[in-house]
Structure 1
């Protein structure tokens, strides 16, 4: 139980850092009178990649999942432990999920505090929501789901590959950097259709924060779409875990 308490704190801190910096770069690009206004898609991609880097660095005590899809993928891969001393079981999985969601809400709330005056100055409610959660360029739920499954499959499959490569003394020795570059690559290549949630907590936690926070003129939280960036990443992560057993042999 002591291990799970440490896991919970580590994942909460790491996911909060991820959402603070990831949501922060979106706010910087989209909100009125921000110094980074109109910085563009590549700035957002780089910002999210570096947000992942920072989140992984500070969540070393939990294995830095920061994402329910990663947790599910590791479970589906047949792993016995998430990290030394932490068995893969229902209690540990729920601990990771709860911490990831809490951290995501906290990180999103901190973005709101940092950019409060810019939220007030921005008139477009859609831009305000985009700081918190993803949305598709073309709303077609089935195809949006396919995009999220594919993108998250890439994320989790390669993350598992990093781990197994590291067991042989390979690239995983570089720590957080490969994962940051992977997220940058996914955003640049597969992020266009849906905004690449690739993480249920990353989307759902901030969407809840958007619904609860006193954001001036915020409009709808678009709950009709909210299931896509939850279900898609969970399916993609599970498929990646299963595929890794055959395609990434130990």
Structure 2
């Protein structure tokens, strides 16, 4: 795969991922949405479908990593680092693009935030926020949850024919749903630095009335935690398999 294919594929795939993922959160939490208060199960399913749609779309061009943690884990496993920066750049650009698209879809709901009686913080639509703010505990949660993603992804590559048939993408999509249901409660399960950082930047820049803080003091947790989890996954996989 050429650098150009990888870059474009990761932009498109990650944009679709974030459009679906941020979109389902917006649908559930924003006032005047028809899916208001649909709940956490709906959010987890929306993110899983986002992974499925984005990864299947990007796969012919880039393999559909959509996540710097996955890219890092694969690089540690294979020892191939020459395109890591291309993958990560595409993922960050795609995450920002997807966040902007989500804002456009829910533009009227975000505009309704200008009404002081309906004003609500909006960061949670774009980036993760912990249920209990405890940076060390939140970091550990993100590390463990990311191991729960990246280690199985690496192991799926050992099953002959799984990747060629495209079934691995479907399985990873269900895996993301499972992580959300089982491990997502404490932090909102970023498990993807681009998924959190790109939309957080967009949240800071968008003209959303009464949007609240972008919480840059917490922003390092959903970046550092998944990267540590990915590195641990690569090391464990190389040692055990």
**Is the 2:68–2:87 Cα contact (8 Å) retained in structure 1?**
yes
Residue pairs, 1:44-193, within 5 angstroms: 44-60=43-59, 61-77=61-77, 79-80=78-79, 88-90=80-82, 92-122=83-113, 123-126=118-121, 128-165=122-159, 168-170=160-162, 173=165, 174-193=167-186
Shift in alpha-carbon separation, 1:209–1:51, aligned structure 2, 3 A: same
Q: Which residue of 2 aligns with 1:200?
A: 193
The secondary structure found in structure 2 opposite 1:164 is coil
TM-score by length of 1: 0.91
- Please, which runs of 5 or more residues in structure 1 have no aligned partner? 81-87
Q: Deviations over 1:99-143 (max 9, x none)?
A: 0000000000000010011012244442x1100000100000000
CA RMSD of aligned residues (A): 1.4
Q: Deviations over 1:193-215 (max 9, x none)?
A: 00000000000000000001111
- Please, which runs of 5 or more residues in structure 2 have no aligned partner? none
The secondary structure found in structure 1 opposite 2:92 is helix
Q: How far off its partner does 1:176 sit?
A: 1.7
Q: How far off its partner does 1:243 sit?
A: 0.6
Matched, 1:240 2:240: no
Residue pairs, 1:15-26, within 5 angstroms: 15-26=14-25
**Is the 2:14–2:98 Cα contact (8 Å) retained in structure 1?**
yes
**Is the 2:142–2:229 Cα contact (8 Å) retained in structure 1?**
yes
Aligned length: 235
